[in-house]
Homo-oligomer: A and B are copies of this chain.
Amino acid sequence: MRIGELAALVGVSTRTVRHYHHLGLLPEPVRLANGYREYRLRDAVALARVRRLTELGLSLDEIRDVLADDRGRELREVLLELDADLARQQEAIGASRNRLAVLLTETDLHPDSTISPDMAAVLRDLPAEGSKFAEIDRELLALMDTVADPADRARMLDLMRPFTEPDALARSHALYRRLDELADADPGDPRVAVLAADLAAHVPEEMATVIVANLDSVPEHLRPPGSGPVEDTEGRRWMETMHAEVSPAQVEVFRLVMILLKERM
């Protein structure tokens, strides 16, 4: 029997047979005078054995180990491990399909599959309307939605709910507009302190708690207890990471908001 017949008999390619020779999974048979490999029935049996094991999901390395240790509980252990692995895969696939099912039912409304439907609803209720800072908030929300784990995500959605009510929404946009107006202002501008107070008042109790609890993720220069105007570079760089050009006055607003929220606790 030559390599093509053998391969056809067992249902693999000749390349596969040679590959198994190369890895030592299948002994090299005798060669004819012309250099062709000459196989016998036992080779077909051995090859079929290897195939069965691969179809069970064993890696070729594992198969080599099994064939080496030949017979014994070694195989049993490998199979048990394999079964556990397959169980995990099944779970993972099931989870993926669940997410897919949700996406597929919602994808007509929101063709962006990279955010959850719940968050998509929130984002729809919080339009940016041309404000740079509103856009930042939207991006932050989208990011946290994809990055946070499900529990945090649910918590965050809870926190955002108050902002989707109509009059809260109107107030938000007024505040965004006042922030945008400070683009060319000085940090000492009288509007800064007023806006900071209004912003802090606009933050619901629960969200304020969360913000204060996470103050250490805010750069040093924006954090209370600090006094005096923010040094330009540091806080500004952080804010600009958030994608927009930020003026010193705007940076100062956020520093004051942080202080006010902290004091409210």
Select one of B45, B93, B115, B139 contacting A93, CB under 8 A.
B93
Chain B residues whose C-beta falls within 8 Å of the C-beta of A80 in the assembled complex: 104
| In the complex, residue of chain B having the shortest beta-carbon distance to the beta carbon of A145 | B48
B240 and A100: CB pair below 8 A? no
Provide the main secondary structure of the chain A interface. helix
| In the complex, residue of chain B having the shortest beta-carbon distance to the beta carbon of A116 | B52
Interface presence of A128 (CB below 8 A): no
Interface presence of A111 (CB below 8 A): yes
Chain B residues whose C-beta falls within 8 Å of the C-beta of A97 in the assembled complex: 83, 86-87, 90
Chain B residues whose C-beta falls within 8 Å of the C-beta of A82 in the assembled complex: 100
Segment 116-172 of A: residues with Cβ below 8 Å from B: 136, 139-140, 142-143, 146-147
Chain B residues whose C-beta falls within 8 Å of the C-beta of A227 in the assembled complex: none
Given A41-B139, A49-B146, A103 contacting B79 (CB threshold 8 A): yes
- Number of chain copies forming the complex: 2
In the assembled complex, how far is the CB of residue A77 from the closest CB belonging to chain B, in whole angstroms?
11
A113 and B56: CB pair below 8 A? yes
Q: How far is the CA of A99 from the CA of B97 in the complex (A)?
A: 24
Chain B residues whose C-beta falls within 8 Å of the C-beta of A10 in the assembled complex: 147
Interface presence of A3 (CB below 8 A): no
Interface presence of A107 (CB below 8 A): yes
Q: How far is the CA of A253 from the CA of B1 in the complex (A)?
A: 22
Interface presence of A260 (CB below 8 A): no
Chain B residues whose C-beta falls within 8 Å of the C-beta of A104 in the assembled complex: 76, 79-80, 83
In the assembled complex, how far is the CB of residue A86 from the closest CB belonging to chain B, in whole angstroms?
5
Q: How far is the CA of A97 from the CA of B79 in the complex (A)?
A: 10
In the assembled complex, how far is the CB of residue A135 from the closest CB belonging to chain B, in whole angstroms?
9
Q: How far is the CA of A41 from the CA of B83 in the complex (A)?
A: 42
Segment 49-69 of A: residues with Cβ below 8 Å from B: 49, 51-53, 55-57
Most chain B CB neighbours (cut-off 10 Å) among A71, A100, A240: A100
Chain B residues whose C-beta falls within 8 Å of the C-beta of A93 in the assembled complex: 86, 89-90, 93
Q: Which 10 A-B pairs have the closest CB atoms?
A: A48-B146, A49-B114, A41-B243, A52-B114, A40-B243, A1-B241, A41-B242, A83-B100, A71-B111, A41-B139
Can you report 25 residue pairs joining A to B where beta carbons are below 8 Å apart? A1-B241, A9-B147, A41-B140, A45-B139, A48-B114, A48-B146, A49-B114, A51-B146, A52-B113, A52-B146, A55-B96, A56-B96, A56-B103, A71-B112, A76-B104, A76-B107, A76-B111, A79-B113, A82-B100, A83-B100, A83-B104, A86-B96, A86-B100, A89-B93, A90-B97
